[in-house]
Amino acid sequence: MRSKIAQRIIDETPKEVRIFVRKYGDIVVRINQLIREKGYSQKDLADKLQKRPSEISKWLSGDHNFTLRSLAKLEAELDAEIIYVPKKDSFHVQRGGQVKATASKAKPVAGNLPFIDTRKKVAELEEPVAA
């Protein structure tokens, strides 16, 4: 069961607000985790980022939220990803209403393995055999 007012409010909450809150929650947890792992204090972090502690406090608080640039600096200093953006480049193949396939174009595991374009393969297989 869920309180009726809770259900009503969450139903009326714009999707973008929920995405924003969730992503911020994820970032808070991630930064806390990394800082604990590194054993940093505010002063340590300020030293690493070559800023005064008061500037760090101001930078991370008040009326301005984290920017992509500030997150990038933190990622560089903490030497770990805070936010991750999927880098899949997928394409879709549909042949004559019979065959459907979606392939993800990703980096090969080893540098010497070529990426196989399945569209070409399908085309090759369907080429008429010469009499």
Interface contacts to other proteins, rule CB under 8 A? 1-6, 9-10, 12-14, 17-18, 20-22, 24-26, 28-29, 31-32, 35, 40-43, 45, 53, 56-57, 60-63, 65-66
As measured in angstroms, the least distance from the Cβ of 40 to other proteins is: 7
> Taking the mean position of all CA atoms in its chain, how far away is CA 119?
28
As measured in angstroms, the least distance from the Cβ of 26 to other proteins is: 7
* Residue 35 or 93 with smaller CB distance to other proteins: 35
* Residue 40 or 119 with smaller CB distance to other proteins: 40
For residue 24 the two structure tokens come to 């911020």
* Residue 59 or 103 with smaller CB distance to other proteins: 59
For residue 64 the two structure tokens come to 């301005």
Give 82's DSSP letter: S
* Residue 24 or 91 with smaller CB distance to other proteins: 24
As measured in angstroms, the least distance from the Cβ of 56 to other proteins is: 6
Cβ partners under 8 Å of residue 95, min gap 6: 122, 126
Name beta bridge partners: 103: 91
**Cα four-point dihedral sign 88, 70, 66, 80:** positive
As measured in angstroms, the least distance from the Cβ of 55 to other proteins is: 11
Cβ partners under 8 Å of residue 62, min gap 6: none
